[in-house]
Structure 1
Amino acid sequence: MAVTTTPRTGSSTVSGPGRSDHPGTGVVVRALDLADDAEIAAAHAARVASCRYQRPWAKTWSLREMAVQLRSENSVERLEPYVALVDGHVAGMALLWFPLLDNTHFTWAEVDVDPAWRHRGAGTALAERLAERTAAAGRRTVLVEVNVPDDERENHPHVRFARRHGYSYANTEVRRILDLPLDPARLEALAAGAAPRHEGYRVESFVGGLPEELRESYCACWNQLAVDAPTGEIDFEEEALGPQTYAEELGRLEQQGRTMLHTVAIAPGGEVVAYNDLVVSADDPDEVMQWGTLVRREHRGHRLGMAVKVRGLQELARFAPQARRIQTCNAEQNAHMVGVNLELGFRKVEVLLSYQRHLDD
């Protein structure tokens, strides 16, 4: 069982309530001990085994990335990590994110159980804890995503697990992978084909962070993604990233050994109106994550989405020539961005089904 979601930024941690025994199951759920390197490593191993089970393309945190994520301070989100112990063994872990600046009516959740320890109650015990903690914080909804093959949307075990625990379907995204390297001549041709549509705009790439003068407009652009991208039945608010919290996130990425590659379209007035973000991990340099792409509504129709993606791929080839794949996810109904990705050569590998549990129902 693997019920996962990918939150938007890093996370800080507070301790939740302590030990919770589940009589008759041999399962104990408690807060992960953040001072115990060995326990973090055991939880990481369980999470990786869960995420990669029957999913060879799965992109997971390295141990360093996870440890930094768990231990770092964050003014945007709070993270509560839990472990499920079966007969004293770390069989699984759960993560519960509490947005602090926006969307404070819900939590993001992830549950992972090592396949070798499934069907012994660990997943159920963790899921119950997440619902309890969400309700105790006065929040109404828990959000998760389940990763399943395209042809198993209705009957996959992850889907049945979510439904059994009171979750209802909310949205579908599709995970696609782009194999690298790409033909430089083809990228040049795609860039040249889009260029006449966005005369007057500048398309630029930055490794590691944006210049100070672009950060505010980038954040304003980035904050639109939650409300502009199709999200089905999920009721998102506009997010609240600002220059200060953006700088905080860059610092966390540096500790994790990750490098952000920003590509932005800059309007004649000097503001960012479109962006594409790629993240390269020093611990897993073959696999690159595409975190987001957006074109502001009033600037659409100029092929800026294609422009920032192509420029980003060109910069990636220079910065990380060892990269072999890029992963991205798009809402199934986002026809325009899906079309751009297909034109670039992305191929479908699975779907991510969003499920939500309304605790006041």
Structure 2
Amino acid sequence: MGTVQLDVNDDRLTRQAHQALTASRAVGRPWYEPPSFEETVVDWRHEDQAEPKEIWVAEHDGEVTGLAMLYLPMEDNTWLAWCDLHVHPEHRRRGHGSALMDRVVERAKDARRTSLVTEFMVPVDEPEHGYRRFVERHGYTLSNTEVVRHLDLPVPDSQLQHLDSASRPRWAGDYRLETYVNGVPEALQPSLCEVMNQLIVDAPTGEIEYEPESMSPGRYREHLGVERQMARTRLTTVALGAAGEVVGYSDLVLPAGAPTTVFQWGTYVHREHRGRRLGMAIKVENLRRLQADHPERRRVVTGNDGTNSWMVSINEALGFHVVELSPAYQRKLD
């Protein structure tokens, strides 16, 4: 048994790693739709200079049994590293996960990181789940927990109209909403990036401390280019202030390999523009565009810290229901 860094240009091993990843994520989650190999390999082969990644695999008799993806931000939060570790269910409890964990801890230390964070999905009613026990044995402590919710589609037009009518008097006349497919125009990108960079600071994150991110228009366009190669679709609704600047946004992402699933990425309203029901407004508008353009999609998946009462209340009003938990664990590195 050993661990090696994955050569992402080796189609055979990369396909095996993808199979281990999707098999691991599917355990106990009948609703899970795996990403296609084609879109996954585009992501794995992309070299993001602002957040390089290393993919380490465990092997047995020439077969990939598990993998760990290590992310190392270089432009912000440079004391942190993130890892996402998976072992194929047919190869668990044989030391592969521990070998991979030891490897990413070693690599995070080599990169002079002082904290390593990992997240995973567990059932709501299993506080002693095996994934929790595994990371705790490896020195991790629970930092915060996101509640993962699903929204069944389509949401009735009457419900969206009711929520729109309740929020519109609070913002109409001072703001306008616009929706874009696969990225906002370049003129809006600087103010959008400024808003996006604040999300990680304002969202509840428990014991994990973050500084603002450093998304730039150039890096934003780079990400859009990768998404196009992955055949993903991104729907972005923005709230624009009096000067035409972005003051709030909401992103929905439609993966090509998961044909009925939509992922709710960031939703954020700048702190200076809160109290006007803009959060509800941009989410309703984005859902309307989603349902008009993509009636084949059956669910939206989102996650929020349980203490984020503002966003939780919006999601519950839209009809999101609790499905699972995503705890974040942190290990302090010597």
Alignment of 1:1-361 (within 5 A): 27-153=1-127, 155-199=128-172, 200-360=174-334
Aligned-partner Cα distance in 2 for 1:296–1:332: 20
**In the alignment, residue 39 of structure 1 is paired with which amino acid?**
L
Structure 1, residues 201-243: CA drift from partner, whole Å, max 9, x if none?
A: 1011101110111111110000001100000000111000010
CA drift of 1:60 comes to 3.8
**In the alignment, residue 262 of structure 1 is paired with which amino acid?**
T
Aligned-partner Cα distance in 2 for 1:211–1:174: 33
**In the alignment, residue 69 of structure 2 is paired with which amino acid?**
L
Moved over 6 A (4+): none
Residue aligned with 1:241, SS:
coil
Aligned-partner Cα distance in 2 for 1:34–1:276: 32
Aligned-partner Cα distance in 2 for 1:358–1:263: 38
Structure 1, residues 170-222: CA drift from partner, whole Å, max 9, x if none?
A: 00100000010111122122111110000211011101110111111110000
Aligned-partner Cα distance in 1 for 2:220–2:88: 34
Once structures 1 and 2 are overlaid, which stretch shifts more, 240-249 or 279-288? 279-288
Structure 1, residues 291-346: CA drift from partner, whole Å, max 9, x if none?
A: 11001111110000100100000000122111100000001100010000000000
* Aligned-pair Cα RMSD in Å: 1.0
TM value normalised by structure 2: 0.98
**In the alignment, residue 79 of structure 2 is paired with which amino acid?**
H
Residue aligned with 1:152, SS:
coil
8 Å CA contact 1:75–1:245 kept in 2: the answer is: no
Aligned-partner Cα distance in 2 for 1:71–1:146: 23
8 Å CA contact 1:172–1:351 kept in 2: the answer is: yes
CA drift of 1:75 comes to 2.6
Residue aligned with 1:223, SS:
helix
Aligned-partner Cα distance in 2 for 1:348–1:118: 28
CA drift of 1:59 comes to 4.9
8 Å CA contact 1:261–1:279 kept in 2: the answer is: yes
Aligned-partner Cα distance in 2 for 1:76–1:254: 19
Structure 1, residues 136-162: CA drift from partner, whole Å, max 9, x if none?
A: 111111100121111223x11000001
**In the alignment, residue 331 of structure 1 is paired with which amino acid?**
D
**In the alignment, residue 63 of structure 1 is paired with which amino acid?**
F
8 Å CA contact 1:144–1:356 kept in 2: the answer is: yes
Aligned-partner Cα distance in 2 for 1:76–1:351: 29
Structure 1, residues 248-305: CA drift from partner, whole Å, max 9, x if none?
A: 0000000011111101111112111111100012222210000110011111100001
TM value normalised by structure 1: 0.91
8 Å CA contact 2:237–2:249 kept in 1: the answer is: yes
